[in-house]
Structure 1
Amino acid sequence: MKNQEVKKNPEFLEYVFKLNGDIQLTEAFKSSLKEIDEIDIEQFNRIGLKTYEKGKWTIHKILQHLIDWERIWCFRAIIFARAEGTIPDAHDQEIMAKNSNADERSIEQLINELRTVRQSTILLFASFNEKMLQTNCVFFEYEMPLYTIGLTITAHQIHHFNVIKERYIPLDM
């Protein structure tokens, strides 16, 4: 599938396409799973609950955020794939992070859950046929074909893993 023209919020989707590069959805999922498997758990544990700036999330909360939002994007995908109708209003990531217990969980637990959720996401998108993957999804300020929801999930991970590399890994020095 080629990344097609989008009608609403093209800046968001251009960022998604840029982060993923010129890659097909199945390859994007494989690559994202490989990145999860390559996380240096010991390094993340050494960083612990440190943040690079007051008020920023811990690595624990970033991982929980990835898990939560992947589930939300998969819910959206299934609603569109099954022609169920509309999806509810947007969710607030700050409220969700504040009310998570991510900092009480171990890095190992969070990474295992992220891996499991990603494997489930891969199976979900593999169950969609070509017609479903090309379904036009219109919600909030977005309009995109269904397959780009999958690319949004992988781009979201790339974005946050880049933040971890740039701003959190230096805390381990």
Structure 2
Amino acid sequence: MFKSALPFMPEFFDRYINQTDDVPMLTILERTQEELQNYDWDKLQALGDYVYAPGKWTVCDIVQHLIDTERILTYRALCIARGEAANLPGFEEDDYALHAQGNQRSLVDLKAELFTLRTSTLQLFRSFNDVMLLQTGTANGKKLTPLALGFIVAGHQRHHFRVLEERYFN
């Protein structure tokens, strides 16, 4: 299903959805998987522990954040697609980053995990039919659909790679 098929734009998440094209959701997940595979990871590796300002995340922290967030978003998609009526919990990204200690891991390991996760994400979303994709649920008090969550996963990745390009390499 295309982005234009979204029955509503989820509050807060429009910033990520708007970074995707109006193509089928599986297509944008595949495209962003290719973007990950084609990215110059050596350039990221060269940054080491660099941060562009005090309190900001290192490259490894950012990649760990992408992994954690994609896992949470896909869990939400699964729950909503299966008819979960409960409000799913939110998460505080800075607390997760602190406890994840992504900066203690190698970028090679994080990259491998992210690639594996995206393959799993694609398999999950391929298992959803149109009815499941348009199920409505709530997470952190915000209405969402699995369709929107697929676009959010892709747009969230693009957002953080744009931050890397604009703030870490300029």
Counterpart of 1:60 in structure 2 is 60
Give unpaired runs (5+ residues) of structure 2.
none
Counterpart of 2:116 in structure 1 is 116
Equivalent pair of 2:29/2:154 in contact (CA under 8 Å): yes
Equivalent pair of 2:134/2:145 in contact (CA under 8 Å): yes
Cα deviation for residue 86 of structure 1 reads 1.6
Moved over 4 A (4+): none
Cα deviation for residue 91 of structure 1 reads 1.0
TM-score (norm 2): 0.91
Cα deviation for residue 108 of structure 1 reads 1.0
Cα deviation for residue 48 of structure 1 reads 0.6
Counterpart of 2:84 in structure 1 is 84
Counterpart of 2:105 in structure 1 is 105
Give the distance between the partners of 2:9 and 2:128, measured in 1 at CA: 23
TM-score (norm 1): 0.90
**Bigger shift: residues 142-151 or 45-54:** 142-151
| Residues 1:127 and 2:145 are matched in the alignment | no
Cα deviation for residue 103 of structure 1 reads 0.9
SS in 1 for 2:153: helix
**Bigger shift: residues 16-25 or 48-57:** 16-25
Counterpart of 1:72 in structure 2 is 72
Give unpaired runs (5+ residues) of structure 1.
none
What do you get for the CA RMSD once the two structures are aligned? 1.6
Give the distance between the partners of 1:104 and 1:122, measured in 2 at CA: 28
- Relative to structure 1, the CA distance from residue 155 to residue 93 in structure 2 (aligned partners, 3 Å threshold; closer, same or farther) is same
| Residues 1:18 and 2:7 are matched in the alignment | no
For 1:128-171, what per-residue CA distance to the aligned partner results, in whole angstroms no more than 9, with x for missing partners? 1111011112333422332111101111001000000111123x
Identity of aligned residues (%): 31
Give the distance between the partners of 2:109 and 2:9, measured in 1 at CA: 39
Equivalent pair of 2:60/2:103 in contact (CA under 8 Å): yes
For 1:23-46, what per-residue CA distance to the aligned partner results, in whole angstroms no more than 9, with x for missing partners? 210110111101110121221111
Give the distance between the partners of 1:138 and 1:101, measured in 2 at CA: 29
Counterpart of 1:6 in structure 2 is 8
| Residues 1:167 and 2:160 are matched in the alignment | no
Counterpart AA for 1:3: A
